[in-house]
Amino acid sequence: MIIQLKQDIPSVQKETLIEKVNGLGYTVTEVKTQVGAYLIGIGKKAFDIRKIGALDGIQDIHIVSDEYKLVSKKWKVKPTSIDLGDGIAIKDGDMAIITGPCSIESEEQIVKVIEHMKENNLTMMRGGVFKPRSSPYAFRGLGMEGLKLWYRLAKEAGIKIVTEVMQVSQIEEMYDYVDVFQVGARNTQNFNLLDELGKADKAVLIKRGISGTIEELLQSAEYVFSGGNEKLILCERGIRTYEKASRNTLDLNAVPILKSKSHLPVVVDPSHGIGIREFVPQMALAGVMAGADGIIYESHENPDKAYSDGQQTLNFAQSSLLAEQIRKIFAMRKTFDLL
């Protein structure tokens, strides 16, 4: 169960509540976030919810049967909106478009990407400064100096930064230069990292694991939420299957399923999802029609010269066309009651 506590609940009342819940055969975990305070009760014994709901200090109480509790839609029906400031948000009923290179390479590259984004009224830029690569000899990012340079240029242009954090020790040094921490597919079950991101008052985008299930993605988000951070975004980026014709299999089934199971916004990454440049636009638009709240894809002035993932990266002309198409398809989608 989830017990939402009143913000001004005295500690004595809270301790009384915990004793009552323990007395029902439930273990209790306290959760304090930027938004609220909760008691999470775990147990199987049936009881009359009114025995708890009528006690002082409770704002609301919910029975949630899912293994994941706080990210479940069973207690919070209203979709969560992630406000990044300056009128920029990722939320239900809107379409976030996030683009940029796989890797941040140079000041010249950053400037050109920002110019492309401003021309197309795009306000969220993705890019990696710490790159987890399959080969230890591949380009692995510009690190903190690259991030600081990127932050300065993006801030001047009013653009928000989405970038991957790979380990706990990076969170503090990156914090002031990031708008959204991205947890990559290789780190989706790095529980130490997820725990620490729960302590950060910063949006976190969690990508589905390379062979991860929908349930595992939701449980990863639960780690961050239970650690104290409600600013969460789920990302479907394709999963590894036996199919070899594409880099991954983009599981668009996951979009409506996640939207039905969780109140968190869902974005789709077609670049990693299919890994083939010429098919990225089709999969992006399919993601829009599947009900996604945003699309995150890779773009570069000259993808064939990109330091990484050039084969799945759009050039600026392709990116401009896709951004326009995403907006048109989203406007069409809004005419359907189901989405």
Question: 203 and 244, same structural domain?
Answer: yes
Rounded to two decimals, the pTM is 0.95
Question: 287 and 149, same structural domain?
Answer: yes
The per-residue DSSP string of 247-274 comes to SSB--TTHHHHHHHHBSS-EEE-HHHHH
Q: Round to whole Å and give the CA distance between 80 and 95.
A: 14
Q: What is the pLDDT of residue 331?
A: 95
The domain in which residue 43 lies consists of: 2-62
Question: 218 and 178, same structural domain?
Answer: yes
Question: 290 and 185, same structural domain?
Answer: yes
Q: What is the pLDDT of residue 101?
A: 97
Question: 131 and 36, same structural domain?
Answer: no
Question: 254 and 147, same structural domain?
Answer: yes
Element (H, E) at 196: helix 191-197
Question: 217 and 105, same structural domain?
Answer: yes
Which one-letter DSSP state was computed for residue 71? T
What distances in angstroms separate CA 235 from CA 218, 258, 320, one per listed residue? Answer: 10, 10, 22
Question: 178 and 298, same structural domain?
Answer: yes
Report the domain count for the chain.
2
Asked if the structure places residue 150 within a domain, the reply is yes
CB-CB contact of 200 with 168 (8 Å): no
Asked if the structure places residue 102 within a domain, the reply is yes
Question: 240 and 301, same structural domain?
Answer: yes
pLDDT tens for the chain, 339 residues long, are 999 999 999 999 999 999 999 998 999 999 999 999 999 999 988 888 887 888 889 999 999 999 999 999 999 999 999 999 999 999 999 999 999 999 999 999 999 999 999 999 999 999 999 977 678 777 778 999 999 999 999 999 999 999 999 999 999 999 999 999 999 999 999 999 999 999 999 999 999 999 999 999 999 999 999 999 999 999 999 999 999 999 999 999 999 999 999 999 999 999 999 999 999 999 999 999 999 999 999 999 999 999 999 999 999 999 999 999 999 999 999 988 655
Question: 163 and 41, same structural domain?
Answer: no
CB-CB contact of 213 with 251 (8 Å): no
Question: 98 and 28, same structural domain?
Answer: no
Q: What is the pLDDT of residue 338?
A: 54
Asked if the structure places residue 211 within a domain, the reply is yes
Question: 94 and 43, same structural domain?
Answer: no
